[in-house]
A = this chain, B = another copy of it.
Amino acid sequence: MALIVQKYGGSSVADAERIKSVARRIAATKDKGEQVVIVVSAMRGTTDELIELARQVSTQPGERELDVLLSTGEIVSSTLLAMALRDMSYKAISLTGAQAGIQTDSTYSRARILRVESKRVVKELNKGNIVIVAGFQGITDEMDITTLGRGGSDTTAVALAAGLVAEVCQIYTDVEGIYTADPHLVPEARHLTEIGYEEMLELASYGAKVIHPRAVELGELFNIPIVVASSFTDSPGTLIHGGVSMEVRNKARSVAHDLDVAKITVVGIPDRPGIAAAIFEPLAKAGINIDTIVQNASIENITDLTFTVAKSQLNRAMAVVKPIAESIGAKQCVSDSQLGKVSVIGTGIQNTPGYAARMFGVLSEQGINIQLITTSEIRITCIIDEAMVTDAVRALHRAFELEIED
């Protein structure tokens, strides 16, 4: 009897009908004789409603309180799913993150899982129960409720799969897995039946929102095979694992994009030690996530520093950075919120020279100006004008022949 962990996202449990439909899928898995642990997100829209309530009573809701508030969203969906399964005469029980033993540190709003104390889950499985765990949440050693931040439910699922030594962790969402590019932008985008952890990690980090990079990282660490598939169809999805065939590794695999990019440039900074810390420590303290950072080579001891943030965080970031820029004697501080990001990803990139040149050439042919460039071993990313992102993705997908089967 294998143990399977399945995670269902907010759109998969958006209303009573969807919950009942998900219950039928779970029942089908249980009928195969598997032990089943389910992780659920909040019903779509719930989290936003709760945040709006918080905003109405408080200009700056404390993170501890906000975490307790938000954790109720997943508790609601987990109980409803358990009820739906019981209504179909299956044994099922819901557990909160605390009850399921998701022990975290006390970094409210973005807690890290310290360990999974799976005793209660195992006990309920042994009673024959389908165990439904509220995702996105945990509890500290002081019994305070935390949330895991972005991608929290994916992370809960993979952590439980690791803790319970599950055969596979299945992430159910509203798309049929991983594609060579966003099918909405590129009609000829090809579905991938498998992908390696590392490529998936870059893909998830650089725009593919199907699964959160934290969960992929955790999967790689504990070598848990992850399947990403649609809860609306029966197609097999994409398997994320470590054992990807050698022969498919030596090429570009996919084009990722992200429209949520804003840029801040601090112009004319005296180039001396401690400047970067002076700027980024206060930003981190303000809870602003920095994405790409680029610093130009210094000319006459004056340099420019550019970094990107999510558009929604631009105003707060500028408010933090401006006074710092002044105090360190920078010339000015400018921002641009009309940006996007395109990335070409694939393990082939690290072994094959010329990928970067080809990418820049393609963008140039399209008349697209590149504002920033960053690379990793298996990824090349260009920050460009937001309006040009669709053209860029399509042209890159064609140029790298991603529509052709491996």
Seen from chain A, the residues whose Cβ lies within 8 Å of a Cβ on chain B are: 15-16, 19-20, 23, 50, 53-54, 56-62, 64-66, 68-69, 71-72, 75-76, 78-84, 86-87, 93-94, 96, 98-99, 120, 143-145
* Centre residue among A15, A66, A84 by max chain B CB count within 10 A: A84
Q: How far apart are A355's CB and chain B's nearest CB, in angstroms?
A: 49
**In the complex, are the beta carbons of B76 and A53 less than 8 A apart?**
yes
What are the residues of chain B within 8 A of A16 when measuring CB–CB? 53, 56-57
Q: How far apart are A133's CB and chain B's nearest CB, in angstroms?
A: 12
Q: Across the two chains, which residue of chain B brings its CB closest to A60?
A: B87
A86-B69 contact, Cβ under 8 Å, with A57-B20, A80-B57: no
What are the residues of chain B within 8 A of A64 when measuring CB–CB? 93
Q: How far apart are A385's CB and chain B's nearest CB, in angstroms?
A: 39
Q: How far apart are A197's CB and chain B's nearest CB, in angstroms?
A: 35
How many copies of this chain does the complex contain? 2
26 A-B pairs with CB atoms under 8 Å apart are: A16-B53, A16-B56, A16-B57, A20-B57, A50-B76, A54-B83, A57-B84, A58-B80, A58-B86, A58-B87, A59-B87, A60-B87, A61-B86, A62-B82, A62-B83, A62-B86, A65-B79, A65-B83, A68-B79, A68-B96, A69-B75, A72-B72, A72-B76, A98-B98, A99-B143, A99-B144
A143, B59: Cα distance in complex, Å: 34
SS class, residues of chain A in contact with chain B: helix
**In the complex, are the beta carbons of B58 and A83 less than 8 A apart?**
yes
- 9 smallest CB-CB distances across A and B, nearest first, come from A16-B56, A72-B72, A58-B83, A69-B79, A58-B87, A57-B84, A61-B83, A65-B79, A68-B79
Q: Which of B54, B58, B82 meets A65, CB within 8 Å? A: B82
**In the complex, are the beta carbons of B84 and A58 less than 8 A apart?**
yes
Q: How far apart are A261's CB and chain B's nearest CB, in angstroms?
A: 31
What are the residues of chain B within 8 A of A76 when measuring CB–CB? 50, 53, 69, 72
* Centre residue among A19, A76, A84, A98 by max chain B CB count within 10 A: A76
**In the complex, are the beta carbons of A80 and B62 less than 8 A apart?**
no
What are the residues of chain B within 8 A of A68 when measuring CB–CB? 75, 78-79, 94, 96
Q: Across the two chains, which residue of chain B brings its CB closest to A17?
A: B56
* Centre residue among A53, A54, A57, A80 by max chain B CB count within 10 A: A57
Q: How far apart are A77's CB and chain B's nearest CB, in angstroms?
A: 9
Q: Across the two chains, which residue of chain B brings its CB closest to A72?
A: B72
What are the residues of chain B within 8 A of A79 when measuring CB–CB? 54, 65-66, 68-69
A13, B62: Cα distance in complex, Å: 19
Q: How far apart are A344's CB and chain B's nearest CB, in angstroms?
A: 44
Q: Across the two chains, which residue of chain B brings its CB closest to A67?
A: B79
